[in-house]
Structure 1
Amino acid sequence: RIETHESITAYGREALVEASNMAESHGYEVLHGIVDSLWLKGPLENSDAFVSEVNASLNLTLSREGVYRWIVFLPSRRDGIGALNRYYGLMETGELKTRGIFLRRHDTPPLVKDMQKEMLNVLCEAENAGSFLERVPRALEVARRYASLVKSGSAPPQSLVISRRVAKGMDDYSVLTDTAAALDVLNREGFQAEPGQKVQFVLTDAKSKIPWKRVALKEQVESSTEYDVRAYLEWVARGAENLLSPWADVDKIRRQIAR
C-alpha cells in the first residue's frame, strides 16, 4: 500500500512539473501548484490550447476551474515559504475560495472564526491586487476590535469554545495539554471521550497545572465564566496573522493585539 501511494505521488509530481512547463510555453507564469491543481497568471485566450495540450500529452482530464480577481498564498509559520495547502482568493464569480485558514479548522473558537469572516468581507471588497492591499489596514482594524472585546473580559464565553479531537486515552498523556486537562475534567464528571471523539472547552487559566482550573467544559460554561484573556488574545493575534502575515509585520500585529 505504501509503495502504491508513493508511486501515485511520484507520478503526480512528475505530471505537475510537465504541466507547469507546458503552461510556461503558452505564456503563463506558474504561481502555485499542489497535487492536482495549478494556479497560473497570463492570457485567458491561451487557456483552451494549454488545457488541450496537457490532456493529450499526459492523458489527464484537466479543466479550467475559474478566474481569480486576486489570490493569496500564505507562508508557512515555520520557514516563511509559501505553504502548499493554505490560501484564499476571490473568483470573478464573487465566490471566495479558502483552504487551510483558521476559518476552516474545526478547533478554532467561534469568536476567531467570526473575526476572520469579517476580515475577509473587508478584503473581498477589493476588485484587484492593488485595491486588496489598500484594505489590509481596515482588516487589521477588525482584529483590533475583537482584541479589545477579549481584553475587556466581555467576550461571550460560548464564543470561546475550543474543539479538539481526542487522539489517545487520558492515561496515555504524559504532559498536561489543554486536551488532557479537558479529558481529566470530563472523567471527574463521570464521562469518557474515546479516541476520535471531540472534547470542547474554554480556557480559564491556560498556564495552570490543575485541570479544573485550566479549562471549563463547554457544558459547564455560563455567561459569568471567566476566561484566560491572554490565551484568547493569542488566538486573535494568530487569527489575524493567519490572513495578513504576507503584508503586515507579525511582531507589530502581536504588539497591537496580543499584549
Structure 2
Amino acid sequence: GVFQDGTLKLRGVEVRRRDTPAFISQTQLEVIKALANEPADPSPETSKLPLIIALLRRQLAALRAGRIPLEALLISQKLSRTLDKYRTPSPVARAVAQLEAAGKSTTPGQRIRFLYTLGKPGVHAWDLPHSPNPASIDLARYSELFLRAASSVLGPFGVRE
C-alpha cells in the first residue's frame, strides 16, 4: 500500500526478506514504486505495465547473460544451529561446511553469505579465501527467484510469467 505521504507499506514480498539477493530486491522495489504510481483504473495508453514488463525483461536478460555482479546475487541466511545438528544440510549448512573446512569458525545466529552454484554442493560460501568461478553460478535458480519475485507483485494485475 501507499500512504498519503507517498511512503510504501510493504508486506509479504521478497524485498522485505533478508535472504533475498539485492539484485532481486532492488528490481522488485522499482516495480512496486512504479505500480504505486499507476492510476486506479489505467487506460492502455496510461498504464505503466508495458514499461514495467520491459524493465523486468531487461533485468532478466542481464541476469541470464551473467552481467549482474556476484555481490548483488548473494544470499544471506542465519545459521540456526551447529552444523552437526543438521540431518539434511540446507544451503546455509553446506556453505558453513565449506567455511569450516577452510578453517573459519561459525556460530548459530551468525548470518552466512553464499551464492547458488551448479553441481555439488550447490553453493559457494562468500567468505572463502577463493572467489567463485562466475561460470559456476546457477543462473537458472536465480532466474526462478527473480520470476517468483516479479510474479508476487504483478500477479494481482493479471500478469503471468
Q: TM-score range by the shorter chain?
A: 0.7 to 0.9
Question: What are the residue-to-residue correspondences of 1:182-197 with 2, within 5 Å?
Answer: 182-197=95-110
CA distance in structure 1 between the partners assigned to 2:88 and 2:56 by the alignment: 32
Q: Is the 8 A contact 2:96 2:125 kept in 1?
A: no
**CA shift digits 1:170-216 (9 cap, x unpaired):** 112222321121111111111232221111001112xx3x33xx222
More strand by share: 1
Aligned to 1:129: 40
Runs of 4+ displaced beyond 3 Å: 220-224
What is aligned with 1:219?
Answer: 127
**Counterpart of 2:16?**
104
Q: Can you list the C-alpha shifts for 1:153-174, whole angstroms capped at 9, x where unaligned?
A: 2211110000011112111222
Report 1:37-186 matches (<5 A). Answer: 89-126=1-38, 128-131=39-42, 134-186=47-99
Cα distance change, pair 237–179 in 1 and its aligned pair in 2 (3 A): same
- What is the aligned length? 157
Aligned alpha-carbon RMSD (Å): 2.2
Secondary structure (helix, strand or coil) at the match of 2:112 reads strand
* TM-score, with length taken from structure 1: 0.55
Structure label with greater radius of gyration:
1
Unaligned stretches of 5+ residues in structure 2 = none
Percent of aligned pairs with the same residue?
27
CA contact 1:146–1:236 (8 Å) conserved in 2: no
Query: d(CA) in 1 for partners of 2:154 and 2:29?
Result: 13
Residues 144 and 248 (structure 1 numbering): CA distance in 2 closer, same or farther, change over 3 Å? farther
Give the secondary structure class of the aligned counterpart of 2:2. strand
Quote the Cα distance in structure 2 between the aligned partners of 1:152 and 1:181. Answer: 26
User: Is the contact between residue 122 and residue 138 of structure 1 (CA under 8 Å) also seen in structure 2?
Assistant: no
